[in-house]
Structure 1
Amino acid sequence: MKFSKYITLGLLVVLAFTKIQAQEDDPVLLYSPASQNLVKFNRFLINPTFSTVREDKSYINLLHRNQSVQFKDNDQTYFLSYSGRIGDKSGLGLSLYTQKIGPVSNIGVLANYAYGVKLSDKSNFTFGGNLAYYSTGLDRNSIDVIDNEDFRINGTEDSNVLSFQPGFNISYGKFDFGVFAENLFDYNLKTSESLTDFSNKTYSSHLQYTHSFKNDSGIMESARLMPLARVRMNGQNRFASDTEGEQDIALGGSLILDLPKLGWLQGGYDSFYGASAGAGFNINRRLSLGYTMEKGLATDFDNLGVTHEISFAYSFTPNLTEDRVMLEDDYEDNLADNENSETSSLATNEEIDELKRKLAENDAIIEELMFRQDSLENSRQKDLERRFNMVMSMVRNETQGQRPDLEKRAENLFLNGQNRPALANTNSSNAGFVPNGTKTQARPTTVQDKTRNQITVAQSKTSTASRNVKSRKFKNLEGVKDGFYIVANVYKGGKYMDKFMNDLNERGFNSDYIDNPENGLKYVYLKRFDTWQEALDAHKSGVNGTYTDNLWIMNVDNRYTNEAYANNVDKIKGKSAKYADDILQTNVIVKDRVASNELEAKTYKIEGIGSGFYIIANVFANPKNANRFVRLLNSYGLSAGYFINPDNNWRYVYLKKHESWNNALISYYTNLNDSYNEKMWIMRVAPGRMA
């Protein structure tokens, strides 16, 4: 009995050892996709950081690679993937895939994640990884066997493998350098062993350059040229092996010309797989179809036929900033333009319209004050001229016209070294002022000068026709000769302005333009005159009947001084102080045809905020973004803050608070003494309420 027990135990050990050896002989196809041609979609297979590095779209992609088509049991790969950025600094990828070489196949799922951090103003560091789980083994349906009971086939089992593939990328300017460990950790869950020894691991590194074209239109709009050089070690290892092989080094490179308006062109070379060329077409704004052909050159692939890759993608653009990592953590999504693209932070259309109406009301009040400024300036000049003539008349009466030296001395004493006063015309003097409610179009097309205060000319009170002539006065246009210009159109520049001027010149006009650096507009004029009457006659006659479209007169008067402006500001304060805020608003509603007739001030209960007039720079729904925007403004030397509207929980970021409407207008009109040139508007907060 005791001897029989030993025999039984020995048989069990032998059988167990035999079973382990059989399991170790199970075929395993390693996860090792040929990624050298994936320069448009599925780029995270080249390096896991490429799901966010130089990536500006998200997409769903179906890829099929049919390698060496003349070989019967060739290598075939299918990928169904999603890849894209999930934030300004992170990217995500997810793939379902299957690979097959002869009777051995694997099928699995792969997840990708990448995250970037800023190193300096020109560089950032991105790290990421691919995590794959797949099942691999013998596909019995692909085997023609004589004996279906062959234990060598029936005894095989599938293996479940977990693989982790980390990588990193360093970006500096337009250059990218990275390293990728393609199977650093590959663990067979059935045998509890690693599939490859450390010496057989696959590594790759890349160096990439990105050149962005500056074209704003045509097929080259937003185009990119991206060459990439790559070195790969042990990339040919497809099956698990315990033996230590030679270190195989493969050199390669690729180039892609990405044309978002049309498609893309690509080419490449790999010392193992051969040369490749491909093209893709954007069927519409979202659908893309691509094809790549590869041919072996110096390896056995040369005798096995060409390789085909077909790609079908559905793309969509995420609402993210273009400069994904270059912002500090404290300033992520801090700008209003970025926030406006996030639906979670958007105000409703009705509330935006209300803000626009308030902004239009503020602009109209400023227009009215500017009109009063012109009237005050005109009255001052008239009074100064009258007193000057009276003094000079008294001197001439006393000297009987015999002492011109005394007359000259009296004139110098009266003027105190300034030029002799001349009667100012009543054209508007707020040259270059564009109300904050308007927005200059970015398209290179004809634009209207959106200054609203185009006041009817009253140069001659007895002339009815001159009151219907539109005119504007411009001060301190450096390099522009004083005079009256017949303006035909206003542009922001570009080919449309050149075409318009060429058409005028072909019609016999000697056209030119005046560049106003204050608002960035270019005023195309037909002719210049020294006097108002000459310009008025030319305007009325359509330049002697040669021009039938709309014209207006531009008065360039560079004699306006800063001292005169300061005097006008003081007079605005004194004059406008006679009017209460409600009176001004009532007048504006009556006069301003742009403002809505249904404009009614909404009031909200506000606690813990002082009354006054606030210069508002932006509005946020996200508290985090409001705090970051305030910190950004304060880093520029401003003293910004914000208050909360309890009705909608918006944060109103303000630059300055004034106790009077007049002081708020001065800050608005002077851009806070030229310290802030972005959009802003004025909000009045009454005691305990916001209006």
Structure 2
Amino acid sequence: MKNMKQMKIKSFLSLIVFFTLLSTIKAQQEPMFTQYIFDPISFNAGYVGTTSMLNVNTLTRLQWVGLEGSPKTFSLSAHAPIEGRKIGLGITLLTDKIGPVNNTFFTVNYAYRLRVTDQLTLSMGIKGGISSYKVGLTDLSIIDQEDPQFENNEKKISPNLGFGFYLYEDRYFVGFSVPKLIQTSVDDEYATEKYQLKRHYYIVGGYNWKINNEWNLKPSLLTKIVGGSPVSNDITIQALYNKLVGGGIIYRVGDALGFFAFGKVYKELNVGYGYEYSLNGLSGVNSGTHEIRLTYDFNVISGPRKMKIFRF
């Protein structure tokens, strides 16, 4: 009897978490990162090839730690310029798990750089790939394991296209992008309407303020616009010392407050850590969000490095 009662409680809590996370999924269809400024390729194809190095970047994010079924995200990206040409190539792989829902995205990126002035460059990028969406209903703990509503997993694979513009020089950058143009619809048995992966619009900008020969201050803003949802704004200020170590704070308006620190630990290996504290209704049921970043730059361009980009 005691075991049966525990099973009922566990099943009830699992369903509460499932429906709570289902509403979260609809609001957070695209992953968010504390250290987004170090990996713009994840949302803007125009960034591809704007450095003089082969840049490989990984990000692991554990969101709302302590809350069952909370988002877990992993991102891998690599991009580089093609020597002697005004183009860049790159790839991105991203996995995002929220409760029983698993999203996987893989894209190939291409960008062309156009010199506007001696100092100003416009990079125009496109990306194409596939998106995989899966709901693991069989992984949920329920009382009636034979309930037909929970017997099957839902899965859908679809193509996707995106584009981005990135205008930059040594002191500042601005960008606009739509990483996923195709709005994929997925049947959802638990909602009154069909669940649609909506199109996201990103606007990003930043400035590099050189205080002296040792210190740089770099404010930036990332705005995300999604139909049917409030506009999201990430305000970031980071400080860099001797181009080796630094840190910053991020404020996601009305949603979270966080900080990050980073440094070069070995040759071209840069390591970063970020933490966020929720400012919304979830603040009392989780211990925060943790994020670890690893970045390595491989020298693939012979001669002096002439291309510069606001990154870190």
Normalising by structure 1, report the TM-score.
0.36
Contact kept, 8 Å, 2:138 with 2:151, in 1: the verdict is no
Tell me the equivalent position of 2:225.
233
**Aligned equivalents of 2:288, 2:33: Cα separation in 1:** 16
Query: How big is the shift at 1:309?
Result: 0.2
Contact 1:37 1:254 in 2 (8 A): no
Q: 2:56 aligns with which of 41, 44, 60?
A: 60
Question: What is the aligned residue count?
Answer: 274
Residues 1:166 and 2:163 aligned together: yes
Give the C-alpha shift of residue 57 in structure 1.
3.4
The offset of 1:277, in angstroms, is: 0.8
CA contact (8 A) 2:222 2:235 kept: yes
Equivalent position of 1:112 in the other structure: 109
Instruction: Give the conservation status (yes or no) of the 8 Å contact 1:161–1:188.
Output: no
Matched letter for residue 239 of structure 2: L
Q: More deviation in 169-178 or 105-114?
A: 169-178
Partner-residue secondary structure (3-state), 2:36: coil
- The equivalent residue for 1:82 is 78
Q: Which residue of 2 aligns with 1:131?
A: 128
Structure 1, residues 92-127: CA drift from partner, whole Å, max 9, x if none?
Answer: 332332111111112232322222101233432211
8 Å CA contact 2:138, 2:152 repeated in 1: no
Listed as ranges, the matches of 1:203-282 within 5 Å are: 203-211=201-209, 215=213, 220=214, 225-234=217-226, 246-259=228-241, 262-282=244-264
The unaligned stretches of length 5 or more in structure 2 are 1-24, 188-193
Q: CA shift at 1:176, angstroms?
A: 1.9
Q: How does 1:608-623 map to 2 (within 5 A)?
A: none
Which of residues 147, 151, 157 in structure 2 aligns to 1:150?
Answer: 147
| Greater helix fraction, Structure 1 or Structure 2 | 1
Superposed CA RMSD: 3.1
> What is the identity, as a one-letter code, of the residue corresponding to 1:300?
G
Deviation at residue 151 of structure 1 after TM alignment: 1.9
**Percent identity between the aligned chains?**
22
Label 1:57 to 1:180 Cα distance change in 2 as closer, same or farther (>3 A): same
- The within-5 A match list for 1:231-380 is 231-234=223-226, 246-259=228-241, 262-297=244-279, 299-303=280-284, 304-319=286-301, 322-324=305-307
Amino acid at match of 2:113: G
Higher relative contact order (CA 8 A, sep 6+): 2
C-alpha displacement of 1:56: 4.2
3-state SS, counterpart of residue 166 of structure 1: strand
1:162 Cα deviation after fit: 2.0
Deviation, structure 1 residue 38:
1.8
Match of 1:651 in 2: none
Supply the distance in 2 between the matched residues of 1:70 and 1:119 (Cα, whole angstroms): 49
- Give the superposition deviation at 1:161: 2.3
CA offset at residue 179 of structure 1? 1.1
Q: Contact 2:57/2:293 (CA < 8 Å) preserved in 1?
A: yes
SS at match of 1:185: coil
Gaps of 5+ in 1: 1-27, 235-244, 326-691
Counterpart secondary structure, 1:158: strand
Amino acid of the structure 1 residue aligned with 2:81: R
Give the match's secondary structure for 2:228.
Answer: coil
- Secondary structure of 1:152's match? helix
The counterpart of 1:175, out of the listed 159, 164, 172, is 172
Q: What CA distance in whole angstroms lies between the structure 1 residues aligned with 2:89 and 2:201?
A: 22
User: In 1, distance between residues paired with 2:169 and 2:295?
Assistant: 30
> How far, CA to CA, are the matches of 2:90 and 2:57 in structure 1?
11
* Cα distance change of structure 1 residues 141 and 201 upon mapping to structure 2, 3 Å threshold: same
**Deviation at residue 259 of structure 1 after TM alignment:** 4.7
CA distance in 2, matches of 1:180, 1:93: 16
Deviations 1:103-162 (A, max 9, x none): 111223232222210123343221113334132112246311333332212344310022
Q: Give the match for residue 521 of structure 1.
A: none
In the TM superposition, what whole-angstrom CA distance separates every residue of 1:634-659 from its partner, at most 9, and x where no partner exists?
xxxxxxxxxxxxxxxxxxxxxxxxxx
The answer on whether the counterparts of 2:42 and 2:92 sit within 8 Å (CA) in structure 1 is no
Alpha-carbon separation, structure 2, partners of 1:75 and 1:44? 21
Alpha carbons 1:48, 1:168 under 8 Å: kept: yes
Label 1:173 to 1:260 Cα distance change in 2 as closer, same or farther (>3 A): closer
Paired residues of 2:43 and 2:178 also in contact (CA < 8 A): no
Q: Is contact 2:54-2:298 (8 Å) kept? A: yes
The amino acid across from 2:127 in the alignment is: N
Q: Is the 8 A contact 1:36 1:46 kept in 2?
A: no
User: Is the 1:162–1:188 Cα contact (8 Å) retained in structure 2?
Assistant: no
Contact 1:186 1:195 in 2 (8 A): no
Distance (whole Å) between structure 2 residues aligned to residue 273 and residue 111 of structure 1:
32
Q: Residues 180 and 272 (structure 1 numbering): CA distance in 2 closer, same or farther, change over 3 Å?
A: farther
How far, CA to CA, are the matches of 2:102 and 2:205 in structure 1? 32
Instruction: Return closer, same or farther for 1:227/1:261 CA change in 2, 3 Å cut-off.
Output: closer
Evaluate the alpha carbon distance shift between residue 287 and residue 296 of structure 1 in structure 2; reply closer, same or farther with a 3 A threshold. same
